[in-house]
Structure 1
Amino acid sequence: MLTPKFQHQPQWQEEFGLDVLVEEEPKNVLVLHNDDHNTFDFVIESLVKVCLHTLEQAEQCTWLVHYKGKCEVKTGSFKFLEPMCTALLDRGLSAEIV
Structure 2
Amino acid sequence: MTTLPNPEVEILEEVVEDIASIKLWELVVYNDDINTFDHVINTLIDVCKHTPEQAEQCTFIIHYKGKCGVKSGDFEELAPMRNEICRRHISAEIMLK
Normalising to structure 2: TM-score of the pair? Answer: 0.76
RMSD: 1.1
Give the paired residue count: 76
Residue deviations 1:54-97, cap 9 Å, x none?
Answer: 00000000000000000000000000000000000000000000
Normalising to structure 1: TM-score of the pair? Answer: 0.75
Q: Which structure has the highest helix share of the two?
A: 2
1:35 aligns with 2:32: yes
* Alignment match of 1:58 (pick from 55, 65, 87): 55
Q: Which structure 2 residues correspond to residues 59-74 of structure 1 after superposition, within 5 A? A: 59-74=56-71
Larger radius of gyration: 1
1:79 aligns with 2:76: yes
% identity of equivalent residues: 54
Contiguous gaps of at least 5 residues in structure 1: 1-22
Q: CA deviation at 1:39?
A: 0.2
- In structure 2, C-alpha distance between the alignment counterparts of 1:31 and 1:77, rounded to whole Å: 13
* Alignment match of 1:49 (pick from 43, 46, 50): 46
Superposition misfits of 4+ residues, deviation over 4 angstroms:
none
Contiguous gaps of at least 5 residues in structure 2: 1-17
